[in-house]
């Protein structure tokens, strides 16, 4: 984020004013949940962050480790920041129902009959949320700036130094599951998150560090309204995600060893998982949905009639059907760029896509 003049002045607003404007701007811009957190604030799961780093569970993702203290307190680098606006946008409610049958790229294999797109995580089947969600948040911020011309705000999704899930929980958008995902009690975890640090000094929010019971805007009410229990997690004794994870990447009490997660192997490491572990990838090509697909909160989530459908841009791209898994093995760099620009698949680069496809092919041959 660009550094702003340290003298940037706060703008004092009430939570009711902000809520009123979000109620107007969020539906117009397809934001499904929005809330706000006063900064600086207590990070309740600070210990999880430190153990993640010190135990080396960050999958070698150096961009996470650069300024660990700054991730816990964004006001150190940007003292003008008074609050963080937090946004969520649905990308799917179409998780497989019932007991999880790994048809969509699970480790049991399927003799290669599953289309390659079913081997791609749901978050990555359409257009890239870094474009779509970010534009939507920017429009909301632009609307707020019309009201408060002195507003300074920098929307980001993923790329800023923010523990987005922690803030989403603090802002009342949902709870944190053992699989580490932010789960809304009605919409499930098929949500992208984005945040915007601002100079809004918001009166009427819970005191800094106290999680909110509800978001300021929600496209649909959560399933359980009363009593609203502000707990970090509503997993109870469930361990489905832990039991289903094919690589044992989820710790017994929740939390992730990212270096064992198929998402990291296929998106960040791009086919370069340790050779002795590649069989664990099964038929999964890019990203992994297993710990979300098995989650009871997602199996109950639905595209309810009381909320508008998921943004069309996140639906499976029809052009993807033109090619098969075998074509991915041979895909030239140019073809990759032509097909996957502006989609999340772009992240794994042409060589990474070919390498991922080779792992899947080898695993299917092994099983077949």
In the annotation, is 158 catalytic?
yes
Q: With binding defined as CB under 6 A, does residue 52 bind ligand B12?
A: yes
Count of chain residues binding ligand B12 (CB under 6 A): 41
How far is residue 219's CA from residue 361's CA, in Å, rounded to a whole number? 41
The answer to whether the CB of 199 falls within 8 A of the CB of 81 is yes
Count of chain residues binding ligand SF4 (CB under 6 A): 23
How far is residue 133's CA from residue 344's CA, in Å, rounded to a whole number? 13
Task: List the alpha helices (DSSP H) in 55-193.
Answer: 68-72, 129-147, 164-170
Q: Considering only CA atoms, which of 119, 121, 296, 116 is closest in space to residue 192?
A: 121
Q: With binding defined as CB under 6 A, does residue 179 bind ligand B12?
A: yes
Angle at which helices 15-28 and 129-147 cross, to 10°: 130
The residue annotated as part of the active site, out of 158, 201, 289, 327, is 158
Which tokens in the block code for residue 223?
Answer: 């399933």
Whose structure tokens read 């109620």?
Answer: 23
Q: With binding defined as CB under 6 A, does residue 143 bind ligand SF4?
A: no
How far is residue 211's CA from residue 213's CA, in Å, rounded to a whole number? 7
Least Å distance between CB 44 and ligand SF4?
Answer: 17
Other beta carbons within 10 angstroms of residue 366's beta carbon come to: 11
Other beta carbons within 10 angstroms of residue 293's beta carbon come to: 23
Q: Which residues from 286-315 bind ligand SF4, rule CB under 6 A? A: 288, 290-291, 294-297
Question: Applying CB under 6 A, which of residues 87, 123, 217, 336 lies at the interface with ligand B12?
Answer: 123
Question: Applying CB under 6 A, which of residues 19, 263, 307, 363 lies at the interface with ligand SF4?
Answer: 263
- Cβ nearer to ligand B12, comparing 22 with 193: 193
Q: With binding defined as CB under 6 A, does residue 137 bind ligand B12?
A: no
Query: Residue 245: which of ligand B12, ligand SF4, none does it interact with, CB under 5 to 8 A by kind?
Result: ligand SF4
Q: Which residues from 148-167 bind ligand B12, rule CB under 6 A? A: 157-158, 162-166
Q: Which residues from 224-243 bind ligand SF4, rule CB under 6 A? A: 235, 238-241
| Residues engaged in binding ligand SF4 (CB under 6 A) | 177-179, 235, 238-241, 245, 247, 249-250, 256, 261-263, 288, 290-291, 294-297
Catalytic residues: 158
């Amino acid at each position: 984020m660009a550094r702003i003049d340290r003298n940037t002045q706060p703008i004092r607003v009430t939570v009711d004013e902000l809520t009123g404007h979000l109620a107007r701007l969020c539906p117009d811009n397809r934001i499904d949940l929005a809330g706000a957190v006063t900064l600086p604030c207590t990070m309740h799961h600070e210990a999880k962050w430190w153990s993640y780093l010190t135990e080396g569970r960050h999958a070698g993702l150096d961009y996470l480790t650069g300024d660990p203290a700054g991730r816990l307190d964004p006001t150190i680098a940007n003292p003008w920041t008074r609050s963080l606006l937090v946004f969520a946008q649905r990308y799917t409610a179409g998780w497989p129902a019932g007991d999880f049958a790994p048809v969509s790229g699970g480790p049991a294999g399927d003799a290669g009959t599953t289309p390659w797109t079913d081997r791609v995580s749901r978050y990555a089947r359409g257009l890239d949320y870094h474009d779509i969600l970010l534009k939507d948040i920017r429009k909301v911020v632009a609307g707020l700036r019309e009201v408060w011309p002195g507003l300074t705000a920098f929307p980001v999704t993923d790329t800023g130094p923010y523990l987005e899930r922690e803030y989403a929980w603090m802002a009342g958008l949902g709870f944190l599951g053992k699989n580490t995902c932010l789960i809304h009690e009605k919409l499930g975890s098929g949500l992208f998150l984005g945040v915007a640090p601002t100079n809004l000094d918001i009166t009427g929010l819970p005191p800094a560090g106290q999680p909110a019971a509800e978001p300021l805007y929600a496209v649909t009410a959560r399933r359980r309204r009363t009593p609203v229990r502000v707990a970090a997690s509503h997993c109870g004794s469930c361990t489905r995600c832990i039991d289903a994870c094919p690589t044992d990447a989820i710790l017994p009490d929740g939390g992730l060893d990212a270096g064992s997660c198929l998402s990291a192997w296929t998106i960040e490491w791009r086919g370069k998982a340790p050779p002795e572990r590649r069989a664990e990838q099964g038929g999964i090509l890019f990203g992994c949905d297993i710990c979300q697909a098995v989650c009871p909160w997602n199996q109950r989530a639905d595209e309810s009639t009381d909320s508008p459908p998921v943004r069309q841009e996140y639906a499976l791209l029809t052009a993807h059907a033109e090619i098969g898994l075998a074509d991915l093995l041979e895909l030239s760099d140019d073809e990759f760029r032509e097909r996957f620009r502006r989609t999340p698949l772009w992240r794994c680069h042409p060589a990474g896509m070919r390498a991922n496809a080779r792992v899947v092919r080898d695993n299917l041959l092994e099983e077949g």
